[in-house]
């Protein structure tokens, strides 16, 4: 059973990695049931591709500010992340995040279906 009752935080007060490129929501709010981070992409930027085959987690991407895409590497399909769109990607699909000219702040939530979440070792 979780110990969390309630906690809030300003996004920029959350612990960060990579000079603020990523804000660690799970650690900052004490969440344990799923992984969640915020990525802050500068204008016209594309992240390194990755998949979640090793963790088995599905990922949900929700735009908080700016606009961009989840780019599926195998097909080149671009799933919009804007005020009207969000995206979900399964564990075996390689993807990257790409921002438009105004940058992109995106909430990324992940967990393996039917299994306990295992946080990554960022250290």
- The answer as to whether 123 is a domain residue is no
| Residue 56 confidence (pLDDT) above 90 | yes
**How many CA atoms lie less than 13 Å away from 33 in the CB half-sphere?**
5
Look at the block and give the residue holding tokens 């906690």: 7
Kindly state the average pLDDT of the residues 44-65.
95
The string of pLDDT tens digits covering residues 5-31 is 888 999 999 999 998 899 999 999 999
- pTM to 2 decimals? 0.91
What pLDDT score does 40 carry?
Answer: 97
- 11 domain-assigned: no
Confidence of residue 1 (pLDDT cuts 50, 70, 90): very low
Q: What is the DSSP string of 47-106?
A: PPPB--TTTT-EEEEEEEEEEEEEEETTT--EEEEBTTBEEEE-TTS-EEEEEEEEEEEE
Please check whether residue 71 lies inside any domain of the structure: yes
The whole-number pLDDT of residue 123 equals: 46
Kindly report the CATH number assigned to the domain that includes residue 53. 2.60.120.10
Percent over 70 (pLDDT), the chain = 97
Number of domains in the chain: 1
Write down the pLDDT at residue 14: 95
pLDDT score at 115: 84
The per-residue pLDDT for range 100-123, each reduced to its tens digit, is 999 999 999 999 998 888 887 764
Rounded CA-CA distance 43/70 in Å is 15
Structural domain of 66 = 35-111
Residue at 40 is within a domain: yes
> Is 46 part of a structural domain of the chain?
yes
């Amino acid at each position: 059973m979780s110990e969390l009752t309630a906690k809030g935080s300003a996004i920029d007060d959350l612990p960060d990695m990579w000079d603020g490129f990523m804000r660690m929501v799970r650690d900052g709010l004490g969440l344990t049931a799923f992984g969640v981070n915020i990525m802050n992409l500068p204008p016209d930027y594309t992240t390194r591709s990755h998949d979640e085959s090793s963790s088995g987690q599905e990922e949900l991407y929700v735009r908080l500010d700016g606009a961009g895409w989840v780019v599926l590497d195998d097909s080149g399909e671009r799933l919009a992340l804007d005020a009207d769109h969000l995206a979900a990607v399964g564990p075996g699909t390689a993807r990257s995040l790409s921002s438009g000219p105004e940058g992109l702040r995106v909430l990324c939530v992940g967990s393996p279906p039917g299994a306990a979440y295992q946080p990554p070792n960022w250290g």
